[in-house]
Amino acid sequence: MKRDTHLSDPLLLQIIDSGYNRKAWHGPNLRQSLRGVSAEDAAWRPAPGRHNIWEIAVHATYWKYVVRRRLRGDLRGSFACEGSNWFVRPSPTAHNKEKAWLEDKLLLEQEHQKLREAVFEWAQKRSHRVPPAHIYGVAFHDVYHAGQIRLLRRLRSGPVKRAKGGRSEAVSPASADRHKLAKQP
């Protein structure tokens, strides 16, 4: 006996939106994680050869494009950036990094909207070549990378000290160095 695996259109859209731009119980979504991040902070790397916030954002954009393309049956090669999966950011040819960062965040927003349209169309067809896991998988992907971005933001802001009651307070790198020096014999 075949089970009905149909997910409602509103539920599918709610799933992808909760990972990207709707309030959810799990904390900050991808768009919230990027809010207030400057191009300088987005380009910061925790270590050589590691991805930065900017690259993670464009990577998430790319996978929204991939899922949309699969849902619609579109051909490969139409993504706005040259390459696939991971993209070096900021681009070595970008002269105005703030403008380039804003453009990449706009591309993320546009790809999310196009994905929403493709999910709606896919759900209306009711003949699903592509499994629903691709749809909710992109939401999980957004949440996963939102967490990475939050961690990178914390690393970038410097060490955290514990205050009374267990709350954390950011400590600037300079004050952390002074604190270490004061503790040395």
What angle is formed at CA 145 by the lines to CA 139 and CA 147, rounded to 5 degrees? 110
pLDDT-derived band at 49, boundaries 50, 70, 90: very high
Largest interatomic CA distance in the chain: 75
Digit-coded pLDDT (tens) for 113-147: 999 999 999 888 866 677 888 899 999 999 999 99
Give the integer Cα–Cα distance in Å for 31 and 143. Answer: 10
Query: What domains can you pick out in the chain, each with its CATH number?
Result: 9-183 (1.20.120)
Q: What percent of the chain has pLDDT over 90?
A: 60
